[in-house]
Amino acid sequence: MSRHIVIGDIHGCYHELQELLQLVGATDDDIIVSVGDLVDRGPDSPAVLQYFQARCAQGRAVVLMGNHERKHVRQVFSYSQEITRLQFAEKYAAAVEWMKNLPYSYETPECIIVHAALLPGTALSAQKEEILAGTTSGEKELEATLGGKRWHELYAGPKPVAFGHHVVGHAPMVQRDLIYGLDTGACHGGQLTALVLPEFKLYSVPSRADYWEIEKRKWQQAVLQSKPWLDLGFAKAHRELERYADDCSATTQAIANWLTAVADLHAKCQKQVCADAVRFEAQHGKDGFAAAVESYPHKALLHLAQRGRLDLAAVQNRCPTPRKTLDLALLLGLTSTAAAPPF
């Protein structure tokens, strides 16, 4: 008889997935159900996704939309999504295209399966995707609706619910034979857990390592190098750095120092253009100034300088990115030690 094997958040832990399936004794007749979050944080998201793609094509697997898949679909990137995008390389676009069609819930004769949560007392068909997937907005709405109480403490049926999303510890959470929390922190050095239906039997295998800590260090340089620092606005570049500061502080500090050095060129450019304006006017007079500066780089800045209106803000507006700043400095004959990002 075929079974449903419901697996908690895998997060790229391919070896643990295979060990768990072997422990459970999975066969080609079983339907393997992922609660979502196949990808991100772990060492081999591509292999995990490829396994489920192949099995789904055979009609022997179901993958739910986790908040991590949803981030990729919506192109909302934090550090873990940036790493996964690099792991997939040229196969990333196809992977995201496949994720777009993932369902938000799945129901067997014995159990309801969701990624994160559901609103007690509401039919499964009427549940909001944001709550089912555990998005930030969905969690806030659920908390406000339930007055800060946990959904699984209020849930009373009609069927048991299996879910992931929140790490419940290194062992699965079982409450009142109605609630089965299956995220046991596989990517954080915990365990990967499966719930086998219809008998509601639990299996777990230990993780080989705290993969997320390893992957954060392993990919930090590549993630930061992949960003178009030369063409980002200075404010946006600093916002990007703030997102990664906790995970790759040494590298982010080096980039921050580089951005500061490039931004310092604005004042040097202002000073040089003002000096050039004085020189041109002395050489050609006010009447001959306009004709003499036709070949001058950023002649609009020179005209502002001649009229005494070239302030630092004007240079910053003309050179809002490191590339434009460095280009102007080069044209003005200024040298800088910050000619390129520090990679």
pLDDT digits 0-9 by tens, 150-167: 999 999 989 999 999 999
At 261, the pLDDT band (50, 70, 90 cuts) reads very high
Percentage of residues of the chain with pLDDT beyond 90:
80
Q: What is the pLDDT of residue 247?
A: 62
At 245, the pLDDT band (50, 70, 90 cuts) reads confident
pLDDT digits 0-9 by tens, 307-321: 999 999 999 999 999
The overall average pLDDT reported for the chain is 94
How far apart are the C-alpha atoms of 73 and 52, rounded to whole Å? Answer: 17
pLDDT digits 0-9 by tens, 36-63: 999 999 999 999 999 999 999 999 999 9
Angstrom CA distances, 178 to 113, 183, 326, stand at 12, 16, 62
Q: Which amino acid is at 236?
A: K
Select the more confidently predicted residue: 286 or 49. 49
Going from N- to C-terminal start, the domains of the chain cover 4-212, 228-343
**The whole model's pTM is what?**
0.85
Angstrom CA distances, 250 to 148, 197, 219, 342, stand at 39, 48, 13, 11
Select the more confidently predicted residue: 182 or 293. 182
CB 207 within 8 A of CB 191: yes
Task: Kindly report the CATH number that applies to the domain delimited by 4-212.
Answer: 3.60.21.10
Q: What is the pLDDT of residue 248?
A: 62
Query: Please, what is the Cα angle at 146 between 144 and 149, to 5 degrees?
Result: 110
Select the more confidently predicted residue: 281 or 191. 191
Q: Looking at residues 135-158, what average pLDDT do you find?
A: 94
